[in-house]
Structure 1
Amino acid sequence: MTPITEVEGRRVALSNLEKVLYPETGFTKGELLHYYATVAGALLPHLRDRPVSFLRYPDGPDGQVFFTKNVPPGTPEWVTTARVPRSAGAARMVLVQDLASLMWAANLVTEFHTHQWVIGAPEQADRLVFDLDPGAPATVAHCCEVALWLRERLAVDGVEAYAKTSGSKGLHLLAAVRGVSSDRASEYAKGLAVEAERALPRLVVHRMTRSLRPGKVFVDWSQNAGRKTTAVPYTLRARAEPTVSAPVTWAEVEECRAPGTLVFRAGDIAPRLSDFGDLLAPLLDEGRASALP
């Protein structure tokens, strides 16, 4: 039988708790659910009011991995959903607004990905994002060099940047913005990616072309498009180990010299939250959002 747990007054079915999802470490589905329950206080504000795309890996990273954008079959009626504009017409997507919804969604075994806008204003970007992706033999240490350059360049325009690991090989840079369309955010981000390539030609490439990327950091500006999504802070990733897209301090970015330096796993996050709080909390403060030039 599937155990039923009560979460904030909602009945949530939690299944296969002993199932090993990450064979390399023996990390189970029960541990995954415990992780999300533990970090919910920091994670939920970054999910709230944002339609969620689920990258599901129910049999672990080595099994089938697939994106779910529409509301999954069997979604409880108490989970908030909303109609979302799409190029192919409106669709209905999930909003993870509370702990019960988070635990229901986590039971599907998922990475959480969101747009750079909230459901009340789908035409307005409130986040700027750069996905720094190293092409081997480049590593996250090279991403950190690029992140520091971008941080300074953004500061020139009055934009304050924050960093998190991707939970894979790279680094994400985020900033809170206001009064800007997704198209304008994309245009601005592309402009900075091009500038970064000019300033750091041996290190940066702004085009996705695979043949250009070995040994360089691809500054992916395209995730600012209204239809695109990015892994949310604190989501687990479908990788060999239960790595997390973890917020990092700028001191950690500055000190990064080796690929393993900025790798954080599920067990690392609660102590980091205890030490630092949510390093990305400023993104949630509308008063700190910047207008783009």
Structure 2
Amino acid sequence: MPVVDVEGRRLRLTNLDKSIYPDGTTKGEVVHYYAATAPVMLPHLTGRPLSLLRFPDGPGGQRFFAKNVPPGTPDWVTVGAFRRAEGGTLRQVVLDEVASVVWAANLVAEFHVPQWTAAEQGVADRLVLDLDPGPPATVVECCRVAAWLRERLAADGLTAYAKTSGSKGLHLLCSLRPVDSRKASAYARAVAEEATDALPGLAIAAMARRLRPGKVFIDHSQNAARKTTAAPYTLRAQPTPTVSAPLAWEEVEDCTEPEQLVHTLRDLPERLRADGDLMAGLTDPGRAAALPAGPWDR
């Protein structure tokens, strides 16, 4: 088992030749991707409790969601105690340096985080809308809904950033001035319901799966304090090594085929060299906006 030095931290990496994805992508390539991407990924992770969707034998093998601190976690990895919705506390990892990202990558996992930080648990500093297409709808239809939502959010002073989910759809995120997660959830639901009225036959905010075929479900529920969302740049447990990749709005507006918005660990380095972090504004407190006044203030 190779031992590597990452910014002064010694890490033991395992099974780097193991094939993880059906296309032959190895665990070593997975770890290398996370190590190379860590500098732009960290601002989206730092201060937030990490949840891991682990798939150590690939997307076709066993998957399990882990919030508790994994066994064998090095003592230099930051760990925090967080309130459970049902009471009590939960100890979770917080990734705050490149070495901790590489350590977590060695577990082979998706990275998920909530819309709040450890400094203010249950106080949202982000808003998220998850656009999930119901077949035969695709990400192309998600892009149409995303364009409408971008304008609607802008009317309330919120700047929306788009990324692929790394699966079938899109995520829209906005930077918020800190607000109770319950208010953020209520606002997100109201906007999703407005979209349903404005885009009949295309968008839907109802949770019922029987209503989703051919439409884009706007999932507003991930704003709840107990929920998490796939972090920007995380790999996904999909048949190919897709990434939840930040997008330019021109890419969203110009999308006519689903394949145009499929990004993997192999093309992300070039995207980052060309464009940097397209979601950098999301982590800039100076760009955070307050929710407008509304019934969610009650």
Interval containing the TM-score (normalised by the shorter chain) = over 0.9
Instruction: Please state if 1:163 is matched with 2:154.
Output: no
| Distance (Å, rounded) in 2 between the aligned partners of 1:38 and 1:270 | 8
The CA deviation at 1:141 is 0.3
| Distance (Å, rounded) in 2 between the aligned partners of 1:246 and 1:226 | 24
| Distance (Å, rounded) in 2 between the aligned partners of 1:123 and 1:254 | 34
> Number of residue pairs matched?
291
What residue number does 2:192 align with? 193
What residue number does 1:78 align with? 76
What residue number does 1:32 align with? 30
What residue number does 2:253 align with? 254
Instruction: Report 1:68-107 matches (<5 A).
Output: 68-88=66-86, 89-107=88-106
What residue number does 2:11 align with? 12
| Distance (Å, rounded) in 2 between the aligned partners of 1:179 and 1:264 | 32
Give 3-state SS (helix, strand or coil) of 2:148's partner: helix
**TM-score of the aligned structures, taking structure 1 as reference length:** 0.98
What residue number does 1:226 align with? 225
State the AA in 1 paired with 2:259.
G
The CA deviation at 1:9 is 1.3
Match for residue 55 of structure 2 among 44, 51, 57: 57
Structure 1: unaligned runs, 5 residues or longer: none
Give 3-state SS (helix, strand or coil) of 2:50's partner: strand
State the AA in 1 paired with 2:54.
R
> What do the CA deviations read for 1:206-238 (whole angstroms, capped 9, x no partner)?
012110000000000000000100000000000
**TM-score of the aligned structures, taking structure 2 as reference length:** 0.97
Instruction: Report 1:140-151 matches (<5 A).
Output: 140-151=139-150
Instruction: Please state if 1:44 is matched with 2:46.
Output: no
| Distance (Å, rounded) in 2 between the aligned partners of 1:41 and 1:6 | 16
Give 3-state SS (helix, strand or coil) of 1:271's partner: helix
The CA deviation at 1:288 is 0.4
| Distance (Å, rounded) in 2 between the aligned partners of 1:83 and 1:179 | 20
The CA deviation at 1:123 is 2.6
Q: State, as a whole percentage, how many aligned pairs show the same letter.
A: 60
What residue number does 1:152 align with? 151
The CA deviation at 1:75 is 0.7
> What do the CA deviations read for 1:20-59 (whole angstroms, capped 9, x no partner)?
0001x11000000111111111111111011000000000
